[in-house]
Chains A and B, each alone.
Chain A
Amino acid sequence: MTQVPDENGRFGKFGGRYVPETLMNALMELEEAYQHYSKDPEFIAEVRYLLTKYSGRPTSLYYAERLSQHLGGAKIYLKREDLNHTGAHKINNTIGQGLLAKRMGKTKIIAETGAGQHGVASATVAALLGLECKVFMGEEDTKRQELNVFRMQLLGAEVVPVMSGTRTLKDACNETLRYWVSHVDDTYYILGSVTGPHPYPMMVRDFQRIIGDESREQIQKEAGRLPDYVVAAVGGGSNAIGMFYPFINDESVKLIGVEAAGHGVDTEEHAATMTKGRHGVFQGSLSYVLQDEHGQVQPAHSISAGLDYPGIGPEHAYLKDTERAAYLPITDAEALEALQLLSRTEGIIPALESAHAIAQVMKLAPTLSSDQIIVVSLSGRGDKDVQAIMGYLEGGM
């Protein structure tokens, strides 16, 4: 496969920089700084140091024996991103971008958040590096993720509830970009996924590829060969691209992204951007978008705030259209069932986002033989969701 993105931030036809002129200079400065520091051995060593000593990397690749036996079929390995500091893969990216912000001489960082995981990871890194931090969060999400709001405040960040539009992640992203335009001098925007304008999709992928790099090495050490399938949940797609990227040239490895089907892809309430979306420009890049026939972006729905997003990173659109990866929908109900199964068979409560990936594995594993291997990204732990899950399980769907 050819190297993507190209110099204009294009993954095939996808990606680009569809932003107001007021942001172009900031994006070009950012790209320049990233190109410079990503080749700077000192910067690389600093990122590596914090990932190791602060976040606890490498995370383990764990053979989920009881889950594998229960499902019957393939051997299932969990890449334990939930064991990172702050409980999810998001910290891989915020450490990288936080250090970059510092190198660029910025004293303030801003971030958007849906479930709150990226907000927490940003607030954490801000505290660690002595940066001021503002996190924009949809008002509806601040309610369903109250605990994470408090965690961010405890870490010294200011949480700004976003009242515009859908009051969820989509509009939190818009508001962060708007704020950035007017505070670009001293403020760095830590975007949390592989979405948005170039260079974010490339940069966030590079900071997250450690998930796949480690997994690829670990599975070969453990099983003596590459996996047959690699599975990860996709909202914006950062944990999935991080997992997939190092396997892209391994043709025998099938890549499956799992998106949130909410109440079902045939209802109005889902976040199945790949299954039901069309090509379009949204929040700075050309990719798949959930939209109506007139090009208005449609609100998404998912039980998981982290997947509740009507767009997806442009590199995923490229992997889909080149058929290198497949993207499959999992409903709220299927994710809840998977969450309970993993909790009971392995003693691991996954985040609702990660539970979508597990649900796909529940479908896939029994169709495979016992000498086949699935590696699945367990992107985050479920503690943040426990209260919501209690509500769903007691109240019914």
Chain B
Amino acid sequence: MGNQVNAIDAAFQRLRGEGRTALIPFLTIGDPDLATSVEIIGALEQAGADMVELGVPYSDPLADGPVIQRASERALSNARVTLVDCIEVAEQSRNAGIKLPFILFTYYNPVLQYGLERFFELVTAKGISGLIIPDLPIEEDAELRAMAEEAGIHLIPLVAPTSNDRVKRIAAKARGFVYCVSSLGVTGVRADFHQGIDEFLATVRSATDTPIAVGFGISSREQVERFSKQVDGVIVGSAIVRKIEEAVPLLQSPDKKQEGLAQIRAFVSELRG
């Protein structure tokens, strides 16, 4: 199983050849419903996304700001979306012809409750390539990391501007890419990044040969461009989730659904440039 090239690695290799930076959008699965999530993922691909983070809605999203919190609440209250539902959205997206590498973004407890062994069987079977677990720092991840290695799934770690001497240790264990948090705080659109962000990114860059990507608070083409020379990938989360939120009334109406998807597509195309 571990012998196949991971789709995330393949994507970064291809992008490197093309001299491009990966655009990695995030969406909360099940907002507003599961079937629509598959269509949104299709729209993201058409708009030029290079891989996508599938966010599992959670009752207590500690790392997330109000936009993603609201999306989680909608997904949980409208569709009672579960971890398994989110993983199955990956399979449904494949069946719909979508080729993007999938990264599952989930808090730890749903995975723990499902059972780590069963979880890795399922994500492997359903075509997930990477995993981001924001509340599982390196001190707590030994068991899960070993199982991810075994399954050939990349466990993508976060590093923060305050990680200091932890950067090296984290980067050494990173698979897929290193997720650099642009600023202190929770996810969400912001005008300013952490003071010393450029130095921070340079530190991470020098600590590893693994690709690095930056996220938290990136919402415009300008900001994507600002980082594209320093990193291999740019993650856009809350800005897209907010677009989806604005489009919810359209997405929920059979007549206007395409219009809603077109708005999301247009926004991501603009980010892509």
The residue from A26, A181, A297 contacting B59, defined by CB atoms under 8 A apart: A297
Are the CB atoms of B139 and A8 closer together than 8 Å?
Answer: yes
CA distance A283 to B170 in the complex (A): 22
CA distance A313 to B185 in the complex (A): 25
Are the CB atoms of B139 and A16 closer together than 8 Å?
Answer: yes
Are the CB atoms of B63 and A22 closer together than 8 Å?
Answer: yes
CA distance A170 to B61 in the complex (A): 12
Q: Which residue of B lies closest to A9 (CB)?
A: B139
Are the CB atoms of A18 and B158 closer together than 8 Å?
Answer: no
Query: Is A136 located at the chain interface by the 8 A CB criterion?
Result: no
Stretch from A57-65, A75-83, A209-217, A287-295 at the B interface:
A287-295
> Which chain B residues lie closer than 8 Å to A24 at the CB level?
137, 139, 160, 162-163, 166
CA distance A20 to B139 in the complex (A): 11
> Which chain B residues lie closer than 8 Å to A281 at the CB level?
108-109, 112, 135
> Which chain A residues lie closer than 8 Å to B184 at the CB level?
22, 181-182, 184
Are the CB atoms of B113 and A25 closer together than 8 Å?
Answer: no
Are the CB atoms of B63 and A280 closer together than 8 Å?
Answer: no
Query: Is A270 located at the chain interface by the 8 A CB criterion?
Result: no
Query: Is B266 located at the chain interface by the 8 A CB criterion?
Result: no
> Which chain A residues lie closer than 8 Å to B135 at the CB level?
18-20, 281, 284
Query: Is B105 located at the chain interface by the 8 A CB criterion?
Result: no
Query: Is A282 located at the chain interface by the 8 A CB criterion?
Result: yes
Query: Is A296 located at the chain interface by the 8 A CB criterion?
Result: yes
Known: A165-B59, A283-B60. A25 touches B139 (CB 8 A): no
- Interface range for A: 35 or more
Known: A24-B163, A295-B109, A297-B109. A19 touches B83 (CB 8 A): no
Are the CB atoms of B73 and A21 closer together than 8 Å?
Answer: no
Query: Is A86 located at the chain interface by the 8 A CB criterion?
Result: no
Query: Is A174 located at the chain interface by the 8 A CB criterion?
Result: yes
CA distance A165 to B60 in the complex (A): 8
> Which chain A residues lie closer than 8 Å to B63 at the CB level?
20, 22
> Which chain B residues lie closer than 8 Å to A164 at the CB level?
66, 69
Q: Which residue of B lies closest to A166 (CB)?
A: B59
Q: Mark B120-153, 1 if CB is under 8 A from A, else 0.
A: 0000000000000011110110000000000000
> Which chain B residues lie closer than 8 Å to A165 at the CB level?
59-60, 69, 73
Contact residues of A: prevailing secondary structure: mixed
> Which chain A residues lie closer than 8 Å to B58 at the CB level?
296
Q: Which residue of A lies closest to B113 (CB)?
A: A295
> Which chain A residues lie closer than 8 Å to B76 at the CB level?
296
Q: Which residue of B lies closest to A8 (CB)?
A: B139
> Which chain A residues lie closer than 8 Å to B181 at the CB level?
21-22
Are the CB atoms of A21 and B113 closer together than 8 Å?
Answer: no
Query: Is B110 located at the chain interface by the 8 A CB criterion?
Result: yes
CA distance A388 to B120 in the complex (A): 49
Query: Is B224 located at the chain interface by the 8 A CB criterion?
Result: no
Q: Mark B45-89, 1 if CB is under 8 A from A, else 0.
A: 000000000000011111101100100010010000011000000
> Which chain B residues lie closer than 8 Å to A293 at the CB level?
113
> Which chain A residues lie closer than 8 Å to B159 at the CB level?
21
Are the CB atoms of B137 and A17 closer together than 8 Å?
Answer: yes
Query: Is A178 located at the chain interface by the 8 A CB criterion?
Result: yes
> Which chain A residues lie closer than 8 Å to B110 at the CB level?
294-296
Known: A165-B73, A281-B112, A296-B76. A25 touches B162 (CB 8 A): yes
Q: Mark B86-116, 1 if CB is under 8 A from A, else 0.
A: 0000000000000000000000111111100
Are the CB atoms of A282 and B139 closer together than 8 Å?
Answer: no
> Which chain A residues lie closer than 8 Å to B163 at the CB level?
21, 24-25
Are the CB atoms of B162 and A184 closer together than 8 Å?
Answer: yes
> Which chain B residues lie closer than 8 Å to A181 at the CB level?
184-186
What's the nearest-Cβ distance from chain A to residue B73, in Å? Answer: 7
Query: Is B157 located at the chain interface by the 8 A CB criterion?
Result: yes
Query: Is A373 located at the chain interface by the 8 A CB criterion?
Result: no
> Which chain B residues lie closer than 8 Å to A20 at the CB level?
62-63, 134-135, 137, 158, 160
What's the nearest-Cβ distance from chain B to residue A198, in Å? Answer: 9
Q: Of residues 146 to 202 in B, which have CB atoms within 8 Å of A's CB atoms?
A: 157-160, 162-164, 166, 170, 181, 183-186
CA distance A289 to B108 in the complex (A): 13
Are the CB atoms of A21 and B83 closer together than 8 Å?
Answer: no
Known: A170-B60, A296-B59. A22 touches B185 (CB 8 A): yes
Q: Which residue of B lies closest to A164 (CB)?
A: B69
Are the CB atoms of B82 and A294 closer together than 8 Å?
Answer: yes
Query: Is A177 located at the chain interface by the 8 A CB criterion?
Result: yes
Q: Mark A174-196, 1 if CB is under 8 A from B, else 0.
A: 10011001101000000000000
Most A CB within 10 A of own CB, among B82, B111, B135, B157: B135
Known: A22-B185, A184-B162. A291 touches B109 (CB 8 A): yes
Q: Which residue of A lies closest to B70 (CB)?
A: A164
The residue from A8, A22, A295, A298 contacting B114, defined by CB atoms under 8 A apart: A295
What's the nearest-Cβ distance from chain A to residue B260, in Å? Answer: 26
Q: Mark A20-46, 1 if CB is under 8 A from B, else 0.
A: 111011100000000000000000000
Q: Which residue of B lies closest to A22 (CB)?
A: B160
CA distance A283 to B183 in the complex (A): 21
The residue from A18, A174, A184 contacting B136, defined by CB atoms under 8 A apart: A18
> Which chain A residues lie closer than 8 Å to B183 at the CB level?
182
What's the nearest-Cβ distance from chain B to residue A192, in Å? Answer: 17
Most B CB within 10 A of own CB, among A17, A174, A282, A294: A294
Are the CB atoms of A280 and B113 closer together than 8 Å?
Answer: yes
Are the CB atoms of A26 and B162 closer together than 8 Å?
Answer: yes
The residue from A26, A177, A178 contacting B65, defined by CB atoms under 8 A apart: A178
B residues at A contact (CB < 8 Å) = 58-63, 65-66, 69, 73, 76, 82-83, 108-114, 134-137, 139-140, 157-160, 162-164, 166, 170, 181, 183-186
Question: Could you pull out 8 A-B pairs where Cβ atoms are within 8 angstroms?
Answer: A20-B62, A20-B135, A22-B185, A174-B62, A182-B183, A294-B82, A295-B114, A297-B60
A residues at B contact (CB < 8 Å) = 8, 16-22, 24-26, 164-165, 170-171, 174, 177-178, 181-182, 184, 278, 280-284, 289, 291, 293-298
5 tightest A-B CB contacts, nearest first: A182-B185, A295-B113, A295-B110, A25-B162, A20-B63
